[in-house]
Structure 1
């Protein structure tokens, strides 16, 4: 397996599937303005890896689409829209050489060769209602589709990892990428001749929102990593960087985390019933706040990790890291200051600011709306994710995405190589069970809680 190629996916994942990045001041609300500015500049303008493809790949890849693609020179806006829709990318809300979030110009410092690479925002840059946001998980991304097309258009072998990258748009598998990369290094980060066979099997997951990171003391969906760790978020460059290079980059990544810790959630853009929301707040504070926290003028967040048998959601992600993988990671430079907790508990109950914008729900994106989160009996087993994040596909009553339910689904429709918009809860790690705490609510109580969640 080509490690440079793996690193590109790792960097584009850049803490993809359950990343929870925080600065050393996590939970205090204290952010150094200069560090925030440096971090914003580094994340949106700086290239950390060598180019993977030629600059021409952005236009040349359309030759694989079949049919007539818009002319990128005569109608660049139409071409950009077609490109973004095909791969699930979004316009950059910052200067980016005309490229969408997630693609960036890069220069090889050794040869001077210029080209394109992916970066963290391919997964952590999303949109809703036609507006792009840094830090919103990308619920449209088809990562394996992008890589397969780019390598083929570049005249190179079809991309292959040896593990599932994604079976459905919006889901990614950064966990397994990180596990593979660290298995190829010794504790001092020198390269191993043969990988450690640690036996971990991570599933694909959806991407959490960065704007809730400021509240968290621990990171990743399982809450086993101290949020003050900068190094844990650099491991996706292991295919290219050595120990000295990691140490040189650590201050820049600390600044990036400071910036991420400053991001605020967008406000709900539609009308809210204030009286209904007030009723919902009372129910939420009584039944939900003990896990998810309180909001308003004096917010508080308990940083609670809920046991698997209590939360009941798909256990694959929590059970994925083997003891050998954790032990090996903790022996390396990445864990010198903040080792991973050796004990698995379950899943961290997340903060809920901006939850209206982060559908689909649960850690694996298996539930399209908040109403279905609060009523487990209404969750579909198979559905087609919407073709875009435009508000025409948004459900303001149930809060989340209107989806096409596929039950049963034809064998042809279930062919994930032809249509990765289909979400099938029968696939590994994508179960929609658990979190049944809202089932006991009356319909009017459920409606009130949903109205309150719009205000967060």
Structure 2
């Protein structure tokens, strides 16, 4: 059940079709059903009792917190701030976005669980959005504290969940869940040894899904696959239950494809942005596509020796794991490609809101992405997503460079330690994508100004 809960908040990072067409009436109806299915229903049994939510504040090292019964809204805000969650922009029955009540058929609450919005529901400038990557969530701290608040020891997890706020290891969650199922989804007595070693990553923006032909960073899974976004149910559902739920998840898939990015909320220098568009179309469009009325997107997988970014995500999914997935119910209609090429250059819609950058979130601003000598090795994550922490000039989050820790110093508490992103960790390297280094500083700033408009 624990690994199931982990995966729920992350595995829906699927990416969809080749074009960016206007939705048909049928697609619009499916998207409306999918929104309700995703945001108003739960699919997993309760992981924690209600008192675990109410008692979590006792682990925060503070003498008081808003009373969860007398002041539920105040407590929800404090809870969200501590763990890096955000207010829900939909009716979530008093819980922060990312948590969901579990109920009996008569509506009685039995407890609660983590849902997809913990990683795929973010906030920027004081407003929350479904599909915006959550750049502040501390997933490991949240889950382990909930177990402690529920009077249970946190389970042993055979992989790194996250070492920094905003990252999560959905890939290993999926591999672990699939390792205890046979291809027909019957349960195994002993797990398969699939040999995968995937790192924690940054969640992608859901609004890019409609443009893609393949999903996930390595671009090996067809984006039309509905079953791939159902993997989080592996710890709970039978084959017949999967089949019964597939139409519901087809609607959820349609809803994800319907989401649009938020518009840049600050002033844009239009003449500078116009010059930046020319630079973009000359230097970036061949991989990232073009934007506007005649937009196009090539769904290009850039070879790893060309893009040069951290290869751990690409190399970490083993051939055995791919073979096992392809033999299963999930791949009956959409198989994962066995070819290991590189990373998919993503669409850049709403890129202003999706810092930090690269597939692993290792670069805090667009300016640092376009000037590799500026990238910090260890830096702080923002304390919140308010615009007071936003760097409008360089586009991204304000940060402080952090020195390497003193080996003789006491180990910092988890929450404090996870505010630091360390690019020396497995899969978190900030190398590669040095294409912007050839630009002049003026060209770089013009390009950044244009990227604000996407």
Partner of 1:395: 391
CA distance in structure 2 between the aligned counterparts of 1:212 and 1:28, rounded to whole angstroms:
13
Partner of 1:339: 335
CA distance in structure 1 between the aligned counterparts of 2:67 and 2:345, rounded to whole angstroms:
47
Residues 19, 296 of structure 2: 8 Å contact kept: no
Residues 29, 214 of structure 1: 8 Å contact kept: no
Q: Summarize the Cα distance change of 1:5–1:408 in structure 2 as closer, same or farther, 3 Å threshold.
A: closer
Structure 1 portions without partners, runs of 5+:
none
CA distance in structure 1 between the aligned counterparts of 2:296 and 2:395, rounded to whole angstroms:
24
In the alignment, which of 420, 432, 441 is matched to residue 434 of structure 1? Answer: 432
Partner of 1:142: 138
Partner of 1:443: 441
In the alignment, which of 51, 58, 62 is matched to residue 56 of structure 1? Answer: 51
Q: By how many angstroms is 1:53 displaced?
A: 1.0
C-alpha RMSD over aligned residues = 1.7
Partner of 2:153: 157
CA distance in structure 2 between the aligned counterparts of 1:108 and 1:341, rounded to whole angstroms:
41
Partner of 1:420: 418
Normalised by the length of structure 1, the TM-score is 0.95
Partner of 2:293: 297
Normalised by the length of structure 2, the TM-score is 0.96
Deviations 1:70-123 (A, max 9, x none): 223444343222211111100000001111111111125699771101111111
Q: Summarize the Cα distance change of 1:414–1:346 in structure 2 as closer, same or farther, 3 Å threshold.
A: farther
Deviations 1:22-71 (A, max 9, x none): 37x86554341110110010111011111111123221111111222222
CA distance in structure 2 between the aligned counterparts of 1:414 and 1:264, rounded to whole angstroms:
42
Q: Secondary structure at the match of 1:407?
A: coil
Residues 361, 373 of structure 1: 8 Å contact kept: yes
Please identify runs of 4+ aligned residues in structure 1 that moved more than 3 A. Answer: 25-31, 73-78, 108-113, 408-416
Partner of 1:377: 373
Residues 73, 94 of structure 2: 8 Å contact kept: no
CA distance in structure 2 between the aligned counterparts of 1:396 and 1:347, rounded to whole angstroms:
28
Determine whether 1:65 maps to 2:63. no
CA distance in structure 2 between the aligned counterparts of 1:273 and 1:162, rounded to whole angstroms:
49
Deviations 1:344-393 (A, max 9, x none): 11000000010000000000000000000000010000011011001110
Residues 103, 119 of structure 1: 8 Å contact kept: yes
CA distance in structure 2 between the aligned counterparts of 1:74 and 1:190, rounded to whole angstroms:
46
Greater Cα offset, 155-164 or 131-140: 155-164
CA distance in structure 2 between the aligned counterparts of 1:375 and 1:241, rounded to whole angstroms:
47
Q: By how many angstroms is 1:415 displaced?
A: 4.2
Q: Summarize the Cα distance change of 1:414–1:361 in structure 2 as closer, same or farther, 3 Å threshold.
A: farther
CA distance in structure 2 between the aligned counterparts of 1:447 and 1:35, rounded to whole angstroms:
41
- Say how many residue pairs are matched: 449
